[in-house]
Amino acid sequence: MKMSWTYTSVVMTGAVFITVFGHLPMPAEATSLRGIGSTPEKFQASPPQGTSATKQQLVGQYTNQCANKPAPADPCDKIRKDAIEIFKEDLQTLGSSTDRTYLPAILGIFKSHEPELRIAAADAIGMIGPQDQDVDALAPLANDPVPDVRRAVSQAISHGKSSAIRLLSQRTPSMKMGLAPEPPADAAKYSIPVAPDSTYLFYGSDAASGRLSYTSKNEAAGFFKAKAKTGPFKLDDFQEKYRYQLQDEQEAREQIQKAKAKQLDQIKPDPTNAKALTEFMEQVQSVQMSQFTGMQLDSYQPALFKEPTVYILEERQIGQRSYPTRYVVIYQDVALNRPG
C-alpha cells in the first residue's frame, strides 16, 4: 500500500552471527567460513589442512568473543576489522564458484549485524546468479534498514535472468547510500493509519515527500474503508476525478526538487575531505532517489501493482478545488506476492 499526505503510498535486522557453513563442503580457499559457530579451541586443535592457524584463531576470537558486540569495543575493534576482511575474501571465493549449493550458507550471513558482511554476501549471490526459486528468500533482504546493503541486494537481484527474479528486480531498486541503519518512518507523525501486520518498505518510501509504503499479511481494504472519507475509487477513476489537483501537486513537487537541486549546485565540497564529499553525494542521491521513487510508484505498472484502489483519508478545500491531502492506494504487490 502507498499512503500520502499531500500525496503518498520483511525487515531483516541481524543480531546474532549464525551460519550453516559447518554443514556444507567449502572450497579449500574459503577456510574461515568452515569454522563459524565453532569454539576457538576447535580452531586451534584441527585447522583445515593448508590453512593459516593465525587466521583460524582470529576468526574464532571474532565469532566467539566479538561478533555480537557493537564496534568499537576494545580489543574487538582490531579483531573485527581483520576477521571481516577474511570473511569477505571467503565470500568472494564462494560467489566466484557460481555453485548454487552455497546459497543457503551465504543467505545465513544476512543474520549478521555487520553491514559489510551482508554487502559481501549480496555480492556473492550476484556472482552466483539468483533464480526464480530464490525470490522468497531475497525479497526481505532487499528491505534491509542499511541503505548500502539494500543497494547491494538490489544489484545482486538484477543479475537474475528468469521472469520472477526480474520482476523482483524492477520492484526493489535502491539508490540511497549510507552504512547507518535507518528506522522506519513514524506514520503517526504524518497522521497515517497503518494496517495491522504491515511491514514498512524502505525502498518504496520517501518520508520527506510524504510517501510511505508497506506490505501487509492480510487484505487491508476493510481497515482503510472504515477510516476513509471517500472511496473506494479505481485508480483510473481517481486520477480522472482529481486530474487538475494531481497536476498542481506534481508541479509543486517539481518546484521543490528544483529548489533542492539548486541548493546542491551551490555546495562545493572539498574533494580532499572524504567525509564532506560522502555527505554531499548522499544528499545528491537522496534528491535523485526521491524523483525516481515517485515516478516508479506513481506509474503503477500493471506487471507490478495489480488492481490499485484508492481511499481518500482527508480532503481539503483550497480555492475552487477540493484536494485529497491524505490518501492510500492499496494493491496486490505482484513481485512480493502479498497485499501492498
For the chain, give every domain's residue range: 2-11+186-339, 21-171
* Residue 24 confidence (pLDDT): 43
The percent helix, strand, coil of the chain (3-state, each to 5) is 50, 15, 35
**Residue whose cell numbers read 556472482:** 127
* Residue 186 confidence (pLDDT): 93
**Among 313, 315, 304, 296, which Cα is nearest to 340's?**
304
* Residue 234 confidence (pLDDT): 96
What residue ranges of the chain have pLDDT lower than 70?
1-53, 68-74, 285-297
**Among 156, 167, 158, which Cα is nearest to 127's?**
156
How many other C-beta atoms lie within 10 A of the C-beta of residue 256?
14
How many other C-beta atoms lie within 10 A of the C-beta of residue 270?
10
Measured between alpha carbons, how far is 169 from 138 in angstroms, rounded to an integer? 10
Contact 42, 36 (CB under 8 A): no
Stated pTM of the model: 0.80
Q: Tell me what the pLDDT averaged over the chain comes to.
A: 80
The domain made up of 21-171 is a member of CATH 1.25.10: yes
Which residues lie below 8 Å from residue 143, measured CB to CB, with a gap of 6+? 10, 11, 12, 150, 172, 199, 201, 202, 203
* Residue 29 confidence (pLDDT): 54
Per residue in 242-298, pLDDT tens? Answer: 999 988 888 887 787 788 777 777 777 777 877 777 777 777 766 666 666 666 667
98: DSSP letter: T
**Among 195, 141, 174, which Cα is nearest to 330's?**
195
